[in-house]
A = this chain, B = another copy of it.
Amino acid sequence: MKVGGLARRTLWPDAVGDSVHVIDQRALPHRWVEAQLATVGAVAQAIAEMWVRGAPLIGATAAYGMALQCRADASDAGLHEARRQLDATRPTAVNLAWATRRMLAQLLPLPEAQRATAAWLEAAAIAEEDVATNAAIGQHGLAMLQALAASRPTGRPLQVLTHCNAGWLATVDWGTALAPIYQAHDAGLAVHVWVDETRPRNQGASLTAWELGQAGIAHTVIADNTGGHLMQHGEVDVVIVGADRVTARGDVCNKIGTYLKALAAYDNGVPFYAAVPRSTVDFTLDDGLADIPIEMRTPREVTHLTGLDAQGRLVEVQLAPGGTPALNPAFDVTPARLVTGLITERGIVTPEALRS
């Protein structure tokens, strides 16, 4: 997508092939900071500390982490250790383990001397496939949005609500949940996006609002508390979210709070879609509520928050009384019964049709 008129991706290999560049997304929307990662340890840190985030981008970045490992030590032991290190960074998104497993399957059969080159190509292939996958998700989602718009009174834009950031910043390019919105905008379909703030890390207010602003797409930030009220009053035509893991029966694990929006959508007859590459589906699990591990993050993300002060400095402020305990599960699970459809690169399917 374009930033200040220039086409950008969220990660790009260095020209000489010994490192990968990413955007340190922790500084957005207030600063544009790039980082160069040259070791698997640096990649693991960037994922764990959420310089890069979003299930598809985590997967692609981890693939480059495996490739960087091959530059340092391409032995079986080295690769297994790199995979262990990367997989341990974030437990919920399945794309991470999917990408490292794919790299390992590609590399282990090869002689050590060939692994570095092969790994670089395979990581690049994963990144390119992500872009193509998301473009296809965008096309299928666009058709759905066009059909919805045709069923609505003309004269007002289609109202889409999204939670967290499943935009191009969460992928290599295009995004998942936002891909249909970008394609609708390009196709001349009027859309307006309700952007859930997405506490505690505010990826909606910071990343999604920034992306949509850069693209010139109409949007309004709301507190996470507000979506239900808007749906009760007919102000939301469709909900589209991303996902970090989807089970074989279609339970959708996504950013904490997604379940509440799915309940409200169901209660108000608003269609609820998750946009998911097939690599986000974990066919080994069925019951998302029982079986998907939910990452617990630091309470400080709830009790403290960083923003821009009047002097343009990034400042962390404390919200709750000093010493207040807080709990910070990062994801929740929306049962398949609340999900209208999954927008995949192969088309839109109901949760029940996912296995086929």
Give the interface SS of chain A, mostly helix, strand, loop or mixed. Answer: mixed
CA distance A260 to B257 in the complex (A): 10
Q: With A213-B324, A229-B329, A317-B309 as given contacts, are A302 and B221 in contact (CB-CB < 8 Å)? A: yes
Q: Are B202 and A225 in contact (CB under 8 A)?
A: no
Say yes or no for A155: interface residue by CB 8 A criterion: no
Say yes or no for A209: interface residue by CB 8 A criterion: yes
Selected from B267, B302, B333, the residue in CB contact (under 8 A) with A223 is B302
Q: Are B232 and A257 in contact (CB under 8 A)?
A: no
CA distance A118 to B113 in the complex (A): 95
A289 neighbours in B (Cβ, 8 Å): 232-233
Q: Are B319 and A307 in contact (CB under 8 A)?
A: yes
CA distance A30 to B319 in the complex (A): 9
Q: Which of A6-32 contact B (CB under 8 A)?
A: 29-30
Q: Give the Cβ gap from A96 to chain B, nearest Cβ, in Å.
A: 21
- Least CB separation from A218: chain B residue: B325
Say yes or no for A306: interface residue by CB 8 A criterion: yes
Q: Are B209 and A225 in contact (CB under 8 A)?
A: no
Q: Are A209 and B321 in contact (CB under 8 A)?
A: yes
Q: Are B317 and A222 in contact (CB under 8 A)?
A: no
Q: Give the Cβ gap from A147 to chain B, nearest Cβ, in Å.
A: 27
Query: Can you identify 11 A-B contacts, CB atoms within 8 angstroms?
Result: A209-B321, A209-B324, A219-B325, A221-B325, A222-B326, A223-B257, A232-B332, A260-B264, A305-B307, A307-B317, A309-B318
